[in-house]
């Protein structure tokens, strides 16, 4: 069975993607910092009958990243790495003039440095997989200039660029940066608490990711809204 590592998989998009992959028979290695929530999610996903390793930890911890890859190795390798865990840098988001530099450092550490660290750790197994793929979960804030989204958006733009270069450096892999579009999740509420307009559930976006896995288009940046057209 193929094996996926999904970071930030206790809730939101990571959990919805994990459920879809488990439903397709994938074995999973999942993480999140809050152990109890992660354990509940892992139990739910294991009900699909696949193997689910849930390791609580912070993606910025190099030892934890090594544990994630070691767990995947035991399951047979790494066919897919999804760098999904994310930090906003300020909750709620603030204009750049107010953005604490520690918050910006945290966003860069979680969204960029840790993502690359996990790629580096997993690369030998991804290369060995034959059809290995890396997904960096991006945001339209990486490409558009939205007031208050500057620090987070800059970190996602950096992740996009790392993904683009990785795609060039690793022609044997697929490396996709994916903008999922707005979703009604805790992250969105933390970012913009006063915005209570209804937003799509993460599960509605998951078919975009499945399309990438099914069709394996060239490495590059994709918007879920485009991938969902006609699905
Ligand atoms: N929601 C949106 O509108 C939207 C739009 C564009 C892009 N995105 C992107 O979509 C991805 C998923 O976000 P979401 O909206 O699904 O968020 P979410 O529901 O808040 O889930 C975030 C997940 O990441 C985990 N996490 C956060 N920091 C972590 C860390 N340092 N180490 C390990 N796990 C960590 C969280 O659990 P713990 O807190 O327990 O660690 C949780 O499992 C993110 O990359 C986000 O930037 C979201």
Write out the chain's pLDDT in tens, 231 residues.
Answer: 999 999 999 999 999 999 999 999 999 999 999 999 999 999 999 999 999 999 999 999 999 999 999 999 999 999 999 999 999 999 999 999 999 999 999 999 999 999 999 999 999 999 999 999 999 999 999 999 999 999 999 999 999 999 999 999 999 999 999 999 999 999 999 999 999 999 999 999 999 999 999 999 999 999 999 999 977
21: Cβ contacts below 8 Å, ≥ 6 apart: 4, 6, 28, 80
CB 80 within 8 A of CB 96: no
Q: Ligand 1 centroid to 196 CA: how many Å?
A: 18
Query: Catalytic residue at 146?
Result: no
The C-alpha atoms of residue 145 and residue 163 are separated, in whole angstroms, by 20
Q: Ligand 1 centroid to 162 CA: how many Å?
A: 19
pTM: 0.99
Q: List the domain range (segments joined by +) for residue 97.
A: 3-228
Mutate to test the pocket of ligand 1, among 19, 41, 86, 159 (most ligand atoms within 8 A of CB): 86
Count of domains in the chain?
Answer: 1
The C-alpha atoms of residue 204 and residue 124 are separated, in whole angstroms, by 32
With CA atoms as reference, report the closest residue to 209 among 12, 7, 16, 3: 16
Place of tokens 């760098």: 83
Strand order in the sheet with 52-56: 52-56, 27-32, 3-6, 80-83, 133-137, 174-179, 220-223
CATH number reported for the structural domain that contains residue 126 in this entry:
3.40.50.720
């Amino acid at each position: 069975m193929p094996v996926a590592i999904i970071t930030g998989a206790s809730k939101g998009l990571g959990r919805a993607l994990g459920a879809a992959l488990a439903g397709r028979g994938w074995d999973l290695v999942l993480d999140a910092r809050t152990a109890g929530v992660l354990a509940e999610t892992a139990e739910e996903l294991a009900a699909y009958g696949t193997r689910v390793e849930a390791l609580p930890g912070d993606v910025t911890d190099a030892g934890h990243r090594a544990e994630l890859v070691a767990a995947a190795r035991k399951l047979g390798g790494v066919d897919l790495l999804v760098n999904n865990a994310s930090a906003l840098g300020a909750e709620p988001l603030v204009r750049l003039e107010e953005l604490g530099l520690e918050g910006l450092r945290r966003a860069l550490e979680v969204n960029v440095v840790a993502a690359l660290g996990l790629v580096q750790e997993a690369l030998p197994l991804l290369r060995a997989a034959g059809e290995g793929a890396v997904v960096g979960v991006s945001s339209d804030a990486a490409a558009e200039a939205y007031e208050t989204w500057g620090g987070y958006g800059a970190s996602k733009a950096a992740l996009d660029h790392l993904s683009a270069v990785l795609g060039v450096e690793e022609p044997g892999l697929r490396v996709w940066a994916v903008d999922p579009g707005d979703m009604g999740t805790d992250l969105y509420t933390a970012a913009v608490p006063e915005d209570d307009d209804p937003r799509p559930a993460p599960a509605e976006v998951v078919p975009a990711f499945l399309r990438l896995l099914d069709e394996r288009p060239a490495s590059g940046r994709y918007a879920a809204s485009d991938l969902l057209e006609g699905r």
